Amino acid sequence: MKNWLFLGAIFSSALASSVLFNYFSLFGVKPDLLLICAVASAVYLPKRKALFYCFFCGLLKDTLSINYFAANTILFCLLGWLIIRLAKEFNLDDEYIFIGLIAAGSLLTSLATRVFFFYASKQVPLGIFLRVLLIGCFYTTLIAWLAIKSIPFWEKFIKKNNADQNT
Amino acid sequence: MFKLTKKHLISFLVAASFLLLLAGLIPSSRTAILEIAKNPLIVLNLLRREIGGFIFYHRNYLENEKLKNENGLLKNRLNQTVEIGLENSRLKQLLSFKQKAPFRVIGARVIGRSADNWSSSLIIDKGEASGIRRGFVVISHLGLAGRIWETAKYTSKVLLINDPNFGVSAISQRSRQEGLVCGTLGNSLVMKYLPVDSDIAVGDEIITSGLTEMYPKGLAIGKVIKVGKEFSGLSCYAIIKPAVNLSDLEEALVIIP
């Protein structure tokens, strides 16, 4: 995939999660589209590019939300680095493993956020924390699964479009 | 599997230090990105409004009819209130009361919301160019909505009252009982540090006390829906339903002190 296309996809995901997904939130919880982009780049792209995209995803998430410091930028970079390390040991090029990585990434980033909250003395009731943690993980994984399942459809669509243009 | 060698540890520490250094530099890059994202956010927001209008057409139609009736009644009441207000100011002048300086407000459109689930914020289309600065109070016609967290030249980020970072000194309008209102990330707020014998009850209106700098006294925060005792038993808390519907906020007013 061309660089600008991937950057465009990341930017669109950030805008969509900031504006459009307010209508599609599940119990007030939105899917983490930028996490999906970060994990996808870490799994499918070369190391340096992947780390850059992870950094960009984190930076966008920090830009569109409120944090004392660049927590998401650091978390996404660490997550990307961990996935790259894992990819050296195992073959991650499988859709179920990808879905599993998304779920694990979502849980890990949420738990890390909870730790930040604890050290910043911010109180989030346990019920709300668990709701965001579990529904967020489920919803993000669901969207990632739908995105993977829709890839063949888009491939067909693009091929058909190209064939129509050629004829 | 992973073998944690000295080389790995050093490279990890270098990377972590680099990221922490970067974290310090990031706020300036964030404002630049926010400026770039402003126009796409406005376009997407308009699209979202149109989709919303289309999806909720029937509901909006019925609501519009209801609001038209309500508007007529409120116009009558407003006239009465204006009369009372005029009378009040005349009487105040007679009594030589010190007049409070009225605050100036700037209207702004909401163009985006928080992209993550761990904070509750808005992005508005007014920034430093309109005179908005960090810490300014944001209200809606119903009451307190939040405060300015970060500003760029033409956009600003608003920390909503249900964010865990938010805190404001508040009082009960009925009993004048004072406490600290904080966000919980959910649909309600919590009023903390209330004495065990505090006079606070379900249905009490909570307003700003004026003790927190920048927040004018008397801004509506919400209504008490539950009162409980802290686990330690040393103090009480009250759960408050915000006066402003934070998930539907489309326009906001920024108070310029």
Residue by residue, DSSP assigns B80-133 as: HHHHHHHHHHHHHHHHTPPPPPPPEEEEEEEEEE-SSSS--EEEES--GGGT--
Nearest CB partner across the interface for A63, out of B2, B23, B34 = B34
Interchain CB contacts (distance < 8 Å): A and B: 126
- Return the residue matching tokens 């038993």: B233
* Cβ neighbours of A7 in B, within 8 Å: none
Specify the long-range contacts of residues A7-14, CB closer than 8 Å, at least 24 apart. A7/A53, A7/A56, A9/A37, A10/A34, A10/A37, A10/A53, A10/A56, A10/A57, A10/A60, A11/A60, A11/B37, A11/B40, A13/A37, A14/A57, A14/A60, A14/A61, A14/A63, A14/A64, A14/B37, A14/B115
Cα–Cα dist A118/B166, whole Å: 15
Residues of A in contact with B8 (CB under 8 A): none
Contacts (Cβ under 8 Å, ≥6 apart) of A144 = A36, A39, A98, A99, A102
Residues B74 and B52: their CA atoms lie apart, in Å, by 27
Instruction: Please say if the pLDDT value at position A86 is more than 80.
Output: yes
Handedness of CA A95, A100, A103, A105 (dihedral sign): negative
- Using the Cβ of A140 and the Cβ atoms of chain B, whether some distance falls under 8 Å is answered with no
The SS3 call for residue B136 is: coil
B113/A18 CB distance under 8 A: yes
Say yes or no to pLDDT of B31 above 80. Answer: no
- Label residue B146 by pLDDT band (50, 70, 90): very high
Alpha carbon of B32: minimum distance to chain A alpha carbons (Å): 9
Considering A119-133, B22-36, B225-239, the range whose residues carry the highest mean pLDDT is B225-239
- The highest-level CATH class for domain B102-257 is mainly beta
Q: Could you give the CA distance from residue B32 to residue B9 in angstroms, rounded to a whole number? A: 34
The domain spans of chain B are 102-257
Q: What are phi and psi of A28, to 5 degrees?
A: 80, 10
Say which of A30, A62, A117 has its CB closest to residue B26.
A62
- Give the pairing type, strands B156-160 and B143-151: antiparallel
Residues 6-45 of A with CB under 8 A from B: 11, 14-20, 22-23, 28-30, 32, 34
Q: Decide: A39 and A76 in contact? Cβ < 8 Å.
A: no
- Under the banding of pLDDT at 50, 70 and 90, the label for residue B102 is low
Distance (Å, rounded) from C-alpha B139 to C-alpha B243? 11
Q: What angle do CA B117, B119, B123 make, to 5 degrees?
A: 105
Looking at per-residue confidence, does A112 or A123 come out higher?
A: A112
Q: CA-CA distance, A39 to A29, in Å (whole number)? A: 20
From the CA of B132, how many Å to the nearest CA of chain A? Answer: 18
pLDDT (0 to 100) of residue B4: 64
Residue B221 is predicted with a pLDDT of 92
Beta carbons within 10 angstroms of residue B42's beta carbon: 17
| Chain B closest-CA separation from residue A78 CA (Å) | 9
Question: Which pLDDT band holds residue A39 (cuts at 50, 70, 90)?
Answer: very high
Q: What are the φ and ψ backbone dihedral angles of B157, each rounded to 5 degrees?
A: -105, 135
Residues of B in contact with A16 (CB under 8 A): 44
Residue with tokens 């982009």: A37
State the pLDDT confidence band at B101, using cuts at 50, 70 and 90.
very low
- Residues of the domain holding A76: 3-166
Per-residue pLDDT at B51: 81
- Does the pLDDT of residue B212 top 60, yes or no? yes
* Interface predicted TM-score of the whole assembly (ipTM), two decimals: 0.81
pLDDT at A103 over 90: yes
Query: Inter-axis angle of helices A33-44 and A47-63, to 10 degrees?
Result: 170
d(CA A51, CA A48): 5
pLDDT band at B224 (very low <50, low <70, confident <90, very high): very high
**Element of type H or E holding B142:** none
Distance CA B53, CA B60 (A): 8
Residue contact A136–B52, C-beta within 8 A: no
What CATH number should be reported for the domain holding residue A132? 1.10.1760
Return the pLDDT at B256. Answer: 87
Domain count along chain A: 1
- What pLDDT shows up at residue B27? 66
Assigned token pair, A121:
């003395």
Using CB atoms, which residue from A20, A67, A132 is nearest to B44?
Answer: A20
